Chain A
Amino acid sequence: EVQLVASGGGLLQRGGSLRLSCAASGFTLSTYAMNWVRQAPGKGLEWVSYISSSGNLTYHADSVKGRFTISRDNAKNSLSLQMNSLRDEDTAVYYCARKSYGSGNYYFDLWGQGTLVTVSS
């Protein structure tokens, strides 16, 4: 079955760090660029980070730039998001999402189930 499974969420204090993981199965991760998208409780979707299929190109939203780092290990079919200096406004469900194959197709055709990150003071 083609799927993404996100993990690593939890409850932590403001200023803390957390590393999220996303495991891919049923397809070859190295073929696809990947993203993290988050959704605060009761709110809409916010794109967070992008990484190219090879891992040599990354982009981050201004709201997380300098604090979050996206990375991947194609040999292990996995994606990660290192989150540092966490703020209350980072509280959200974090989804890993696959960019559709093909140049320019920067939309998301496969989503993981999400992992909840709660930042509390």
Chain B
Amino acid sequence: IQMTQSPSSLSASVGDRVTITCRASQGINNYLAWYQQKPGTVPNLLIYAASTLQSGVPSRFSGSGSGTDFTLTISSLQPEDVATYYCQKYNGSPLSFGGGTKVEIK
């Protein structure tokens, strides 16, 4: 199963609503996680089961979708959200990630 993210990069203003899409080549129910990787740091789990926020993650992050199409939304972009975001499917081996979406501030 291939995971395709779009866009590969985006630039938005502080306060903007940002949406990142992840598409699976086959249905994966809701077995999808999202990670944030800030420059020079390790990935950090944001969301699992497509829409469940990991403890400690700000509520401006949300996830939705099921089957093949998923979205990660940042409701109001903050400077500290500059990072690359990855989706990961986990409905079986091999586990696989999307190619990443780099988010920058305009």
| Residues of A bordering B, CB below 8 Å | 35, 37, 44-47, 50, 59, 61-62, 95, 100, 104-109, 111-114
Contacts and interface: CB of A to CB of B under 8 A. Distances in A.
B66 to A, nearest CB: 15
Nearest to B55: A109
Nearest to B86: A45
B100 interface: yes
B83 interface: no
Contacts of B97: 44-47
B45 interface: yes
A42 B67 CA distance: 30
Contacts of A61: 94
A100 to B, nearest CB: 7
A50 B88 CA distance: 15
Contact of B96 (A35, A47, A95): A47
24 contacts: A35-B95, A44-B84, A44-B86, A44-B99, A45-B97, A46-B97, A47-B95, A47-B97, A50-B95, A59-B94, A61-B94, A62-B94, A100-B45, A100-B48, A107-B45, A107-B48, A107-B88, A108-B33, A108-B45, A108-B88, A109-B45, A109-B54, A112-B42, A113-B42
